[in-house]
Amino acid sequence: MSEDVTDERLARLKREFASLDGDGDGYITEAEFRAHFPELPAEAMPALRDTGDADGDGRFSLEEFIRLMP
């Protein structure tokens, strides 16, 4: 999959993921995402979910998060 992910970037994304994952269950739900980005418009979520939620379970795993983030 993502050979271009450097260790440094991966470490940063893991930290970001952990800070977003409020209950620490290893998945970021839509509610957790919105709690972290309250300024994000509601209409942005469906697009995020379409793009980021590869397996369609309604939450972001670390792998999905890494693919989603620039």
Contacting residues toward Ca ion, per CB under 5 A: 21, 23, 25, 27, 53, 55, 57
Coil, strand or helix at 55: coil
- Return the number of the residue (6 or 21) whose C-beta is nearest Ca ion: 21
Q: Which two tokens stand for residue 67?
A: 């693919």
How many C-beta atoms lie closer than 10 Å to residue 41's C-beta?
Answer: 7
In the complex, the smallest distance separating the C-beta of residue 48 from Ca ion, rounded to whole angstroms, is: 11
CA-based max dimension of the chain: 33
In the complex, the smallest distance separating the C-beta of residue 21 from Ca ion, rounded to whole angstroms, is: 4
- Return the number of the residue (7 or 50) whose C-beta is nearest Ca ion: 50
